Amino acid sequence: MIADVERYLTQHADRFVEELKDLLRIPSVSGDPAFRGDCRRAAGFVRERLAAAGLSAEIVETAGHPIVYGEWLGAGDDAPTALVYGHYDVQPPDPLDEWVSPPFEPTIRDRRLYARGATDDKGQMFTHVKSVEAWLKAAGRLPVNVKFVIEGEEEVSSSNLDRFLSERRDRLRADIAVISDTSQFGPGMPAITYGLRGNLFVEVIVSGPAQDLHSGMFGGSVANPANALAAMIAALHDEQGRVRIPGFYDEVLPLSDAERERLANLPFDEASYLQGLGVSAAWGEEGYTTLERRWTRPTCDVNGLKSGYLGEGPKTIVPARASAKLSCRMVPNQDPVKLTQALCDFLRTNCRPGLELEFKTRPGGRALVFDPDSPWMAAASRAIEAAFGTKPVLIREGGSIPVVATFREVLGLDTLLVGWGRDTDNLHSPNEHFTLEDFHRGTHASARLWAELAAAAGIEDRG
Amino acid sequence: MIADVERYLTQHADRFVEELKDLLRIPSVSGDPAFRGDCRRAAGFVRERLAAAGLSAEIVETAGHPIVYGEWLGAGDDAPTALVYGHYDVQPPDPLDEWVSPPFEPTIRDRRLYARGATDDKGQMFTHVKSVEAWLKAAGRLPVNVKFVIEGEEEVSSSNLDRFLSERRDRLRADIAVISDTSQFGPGMPAITYGLRGNLFVEVIVSGPAQDLHSGMFGGSVANPANALAAMIAALHDEQGRVRIPGFYDEVLPLSDAERERLANLPFDEASYLQGLGVSAAWGEEGYTTLERRWTRPTCDVNGLKSGYLGEGPKTIVPARASAKLSCRMVPNQDPVKLTQALCDFLRTNCRPGLELEFKTRPGGRALVFDPDSPWMAAASRAIEAAFGTKPVLIREGGSIPVVATFREVLGLDTLLVGWGRDTDNLHSPNEHFTLEDFHRGTHASARLWAELAAAAGIEDRG
């Protein structure tokens, strides 16, 4: 059976690329109201492809861009159900003049498909659409039930997704979620991501004098909000790069020896990592490797600083205000609400007399780590190995994918984060692309995944 | 004789105000090329008024806006020569919608003349033009020789003044310089400023990764330029508000007991000072009063901070760059060149691995303190007391007036800083004004000053 499916995938591979190019031609930039109609067109395109594949599919209206929902439940109650999530919206293409070929004119060069959204996430999402088509056309059925939720607001905070998920909680019941919106660990080194960091945001505004003061006439006699803010930020870390907020590490689960060993065994080339980022040396919390720092340790980073005079040349003022955008990345078991408060309290403690503080907070999601030894993980690993010819590595990811936390909280679902692309595919940057080999391997891995998930549930259906 | 002069001043007081209004109608905004012609018109107006007063006066071209030069040398070689400096250019009037009456339509309300430049510096400068007119018209001569240098680029760093002063060094020879571009200590509390702080500027740019990085994917593994910059700035001060740059205080002259006592005896109301600035508490170097901190102690202030994301809401990045504009105010005997280097070295010492530093420096002027017991000071004090009915207080000023340092360096001149305005006159702000009483008292004080300077030089000519 899987042989028929794979044959179908191979025979129709060129058509799949042409269809993906059609989708990529639609400039579905969710963040820009000018492209509202294009977002709707992209949703329609995805719905139509799902229906053509053999799913029942509909457009679900939201307060923003619509969500595409599709399902095929013919595998029956005994078979597991997979909830596939993806998004049809894309980042703005700016700066336009850095694109070699226009962002919405998909172009193949060197066996890579260049277009905004090629990998994030139209291309990766499309592998699942095509794999279910292959099963339904070549085998007449799928080994599992599938539900597709393809949204159009991932690049703008998924504002209307949570409500959709909550309202359709029963309809969306599933055994495992599947998302292809991450990357391989390296070219030809496929990966399953089993952990994500959480995050929280605090913007702190330090106000001093009612207006900017002449630094000659008044400097030295009142606290300078910018100097004070710098001192508050500096206090956040000790000399060893550890965060000094009281209680910050209290709930952090220690890394197991097994996990440290697993991370240490990954083929990570620190020199080329640093070279890729354009920095001459690593820096971070003492006692941890670079990968441990990225994936398993909490952080507190400044994301933005603003105070006083930002133009050219000198302007000698004591600024009236200074502000910083801060965010923490959290690891299991840290509580974003509690730590948001602790961060604000700590900043307040380190402020100077005569200054007022204002906070804008947004506790983000908790960190998530899935059991790397679960049957679902094993199933995904087998599927990827079959398609890529090599066993995937198990990795964690320093970023956050909010929908994964929502799936856990609202639907009680774990997620398989199986990414076919590469972190060099220029996501969110000019000249985004998707290597055709990765796209095709992705369709095969996806097709295999449905069989392996059924097998993992005890239904021997690997073809 | 002085009686005739004073009678003239009183009789023509209203005309002086009308003439000043004519000058204020000319929008001589030196920083905006659109007003280039108006700057020239203002120069012409000043030249014409000097000539009408009885001086020989000319327009001197520069690479920028012209300088007006006028002189009357009829007092002879035995009489002292005063060099009067002022400026006819003004700050931009923005924000326009905060002006009660338009900035270039001079309007009198509550015996105050409202217009851009009313006090800074057209109005204050004009008192000297009118006092020499009064002497020459009412007495046929002046007790001293006078030379007027009225420039048009004070608000844009006096870019072409130094060259003018150097080239005309011989022609400009004088015994004392006179500038009215400062303020009274308080309403009805005239002041002579005998000390100014110096300054230096350092912009530091901290560069990390080649571009902004995703703070989730990379945060924690490389030094964040904004966090690092904050730590560098925080290191500049200790808990007592003292600057930690090595050698920073080495050359600072200690305050004498006499001077501390003089400052302590000034009628300074700290509560209303803080209220005026809109801050709830003072903060500064331990062991010094607020006035001592403002006028006699060096500082290191942040003037501007910029890094990463400056828009609304969160954006989770490790910024590629962070920059700060810093400036130090210096006191006698600190060396701006040496301290600029020390500041840069100190920042470098406190930087983190993997970051690059770039500096843009501009050593400003040295601090200046004039002998408060000099005969010139005593002369100015008597002149002011006669006009204001109260003895002026001797104060220092935390800011810098670069031309004063140039007079010292190029012409070997000390300067009498005698200001008639108030620091509540909204210099550089909307609704700038000059109280008419201050304007008229200024003309009388100026007229008296010429007599007192002659007296101080041993020529009894107080009328």
Identify whether residues B71 and B21 lie together within a single domain.
yes
Which one, of A149, A179, A175, lies nearest residue A80 by Cα? A175
Distance of CA B177 to the CA centre of its chain: 15
Buried-state track A23-62, b at ≥16 Cβ within 10 A, e below 16: bbebbbbbeeeebeebbbbbbebbbebbeebbbebeebee
Beta sheet of A356-363, edge-to-edge order: A356-363, A198-207, A321-330, A299-308, B299-308, B321-330, B198-207, B356-363
Q: How far apart are CA B217 and CA A394, in angstroms?
A: 16
User: B204 in helix, strand or coil?
Assistant: strand
A226 in any annotated domain: yes
> Per-residue pLDDT for A411 more than 90?
yes
Task: Name every chain A residue with its beta carbon within 8 A of the beta carbon of B302.
Answer: 224, 226-227, 230, 307-308, 319, 322
The pLDDT mean for chain A works out to: 95
- Smallest CA–CA distance, residue A341 to chain B, in Å, is 17
List beta partners, residue A376.
none
Q: What is the DSSP string of A185-252?
A: SBTTB-EEEEEE-EEEEEEEEEE-SSS-EETTTTBTTB--HHHHHHHHHHTTB-TTS-B-STTTTTTP
When pLDDT is cut at 50, 70 and 90, the band that residue B189 belongs to is very high
pLDDT band at B9 (very low <50, low <70, confident <90, very high): very high
Note whether B191 and B203 are same-domain residues.
no
Domain final residue pick, A307, A333, A363: A363
Which parts of A275-431 are beta strand (E)?
299-308, 317-318, 321-330, 356-363, 368-369, 393-397, 415-419
pLDDT on residue A312: 84
Is B280 in Cβ contact with A354 (below 8 Å)? Answer: yes
Within a domain: residue B390? yes
For B436, the 3-state DSSP assignment is: helix
Contacts of A226 in chain B (CB under 8 A): 233, 301-305, 324
In a domain, A151, yes or no: yes
CB < 8 Å to B206, chain A:
none
Instruction: Please report the sign of the dihedral spanned by the C-alpha atoms of residue A293, residue A297, residue A300, residue A302.
Output: positive
- CATH code for the domain of B124: 3.40.630.10
The domain total for chain A is: 2
Q: Which of A273, A258, A263 has the alpha carbon at shortest distance from A395?
A: A263
What pLDDT sits at residue A412? Answer: 95
Distance CA A298, CA A281 (A): 20
Cα–Cα dist B64/B140, whole Å: 36
**Each residue's pLDDT tens digit, A219-231:** 999 999 999 999 9
Q: Is the pLDDT of residue A66 over 60?
A: yes
Specify whether A104 is located in the same domain as A172.
yes
B271 inside domain: no
Closest chain A CA to residue B201: A314
Contact A231 B227 (CB under 8 A): no
Indicate if A13 and A156 belong to the same structural domain: yes
Helix (H, G, I), strand (E, B) or coil at A442: helix
pLDDT, tens digit (0-9, with 9 covering 90-100), for A56-65: 999 999 999 9
Q: Which domain holds residue A219?
A: 198-252+298-363
A397 and A350 assigned to the same domain = no
pLDDT at residue number A439: 98
Q: What was the pLDDT predicted at A460?
A: 57
Q: What is the residue whose two structure tokens read 């607020």?
A: B290
Taking the model in full, what pTM does it have?
0.86
Residue A431 in 3-state DSSP? coil
A399/A429 same-domain check:
yes
Q: Kindly state whether residue A57 falls inside one of the protein's structural domains.
A: yes
pLDDT in tens, B199-242: 999 999 999 999 889 898 899 999 999 999 999 999 999 999 99
Within this chain, do residues A7 and A112 fall inside the same structural domain, yes or no? yes
Out of B340, B363, B386, a domain closes at B363
User: B363, B385, B411 — which closes off a domain?
Assistant: B363
Q: pLDDT class for A21, splitting at 50, 70, 90?
A: very high
User: So what's the pLDDT on residue B460?
Assistant: 57
The structure tokens listed for A75 are 């595998």
Instruction: Please write the tens of the pLDDT for every residue from A138-168.
Output: 999 999 999 999 999 998 888 899 999 999 9
Residue A264 lies in a domain: no
Tell whether the model's pLDDT for residue B462 goes beyond 60: no
ipTM: 0.86
State whether B379 and B307 are in the same domain.
Answer: no
Q: What is the pLDDT of residue A313?
A: 81
Instruction: Specify whether A333 is located in the same domain as A379.
Output: no
> pLDDT, tens digit, for every residue of B95-140?
888 899 999 999 999 999 999 999 999 999 999 999 999 999 999 9
Chain A residues 323-362 with CB within 8 Å of chain B: 324-325, 327, 329, 352-356, 362
Same domain, B249 and B390: no
Q: Give the CATH number for residue A304.
A: 3.30.70.360
Same domain, B68 and B143: yes
Is pLDDT of B461 > 70? no
A313 and A381, same domain (yes or no): no
Quick: pLDDT tens for B396-434: 999 888 899 999 999 999 999 999 999 889 888 889 999
On whether residue B419 sits in a domain, the answer given is yes
Tell me whether residue A282 is in a domain: no
Nearest-CA distance B110 → chain A (Å): 26
Angle, CA of A303, A306 and A309, to the nearest 5°: 150
User: Phi then psi for A444, rounded to 5 degrees?
Assistant: -65, -45
Q: Do A218 and B317 touch (CB under 8 A)?
A: no
Helix (H) or strand (E) holding B299: strand B299-308
Q: How does pLDDT run across B345-366, given as a tens digit for each residue?
A: 999 999 999 999 999 998 778 8
Please give, rounded to a whole number of angstroms, the shortest distance from the CA of A309 to a CA of chain B: 5
**Would strands B198-207 and B356-363 be described as parallel, antiparallel, or unpaired?**
antiparallel
